[in-house]
Amino acid sequence: MLSEDERRELRAWRSRQVFFMFALFVFVLPFLGMSIYGAVRDPSTLFNSPSGLVLLPFLGVAIFLSRSPLRWRQARRDEDNRLVKSVRGHADVRSRLGIGLIAPTHDVLHIGGEAFPLAQYWRDQLMPGLVYEVRFAPLSRAILSISAVESRAAPSGHEPLPSHFAELSEREHALIRLLARGLTDKDIARKLNLSPTTVRTYNSDLYLKLGIQRRGQVRAIAERFGLLDEPAEKA
């Protein structure tokens, strides 16, 4: 049964498909029609005119957007019939190549034998090494909610620290606390007596060790594993 929040999420997903359909029928298909018509009348324009040079890229975009009407109908059926399924497991996020600037490289979530296109909003909520439950609309494959499955907490009230976190240095622990507080690279540089360029390098190395991609995920990790509770170290 769909909850009210999940219904709103599904409607928002449908609205995005409407936007893609608008782009398809108002911009992409008319341009393709005119380009093909011109090429049929004068084949030399296929490679000698601006419209001919972008014909193939626009054809790729049209193929990509052509799924939107079907997805919209499937989402409508999901909502009307209150269809929802769930799957749980470890989240595995992989990148998939897209079509240039129109459909750039995007993330795909693999979990419990299922795969879902992953929007940035959901990507920022995922942390490596944790088990998640994903509720989704089965026909449209729209993600409706993602929640971490709670495991047994450590005596401190936080989850046990993953083994690979033990490799973090004292400076990296300090960096986690400062990032979790929302400080900018310049502020962190002053706190740790480093240059902003060096801080950005440390950030990249830290993200790699934590298995994340963005600084917005650091706060969730710090709170979950009690990394904010440790006393700050001097730089």
Q: How far is CA 8 from CA 124, 191, 219, in A?
A: 20, 43, 27
Buried b (16+ CB within 10 A) or exposed e, 52-88: beebeebeebeebbeebeebbebbbebbeeebbeeee
pLDDT over 50 at 151, yes or no = no
The pLDDT confidence band at residue 17, using thresholds 50, 70 and 90, is very high
Q: What is the mean pLDDT of residues 83-94?
A: 87
The pLDDT confidence band at residue 149, using thresholds 50, 70 and 90, is confident
pTM for the structure as a whole: 0.58
Confidence at residue 48, expressed as pLDDT on a 0 to 100 scale: 67
Cβ count within 10 A of residue 43: 11
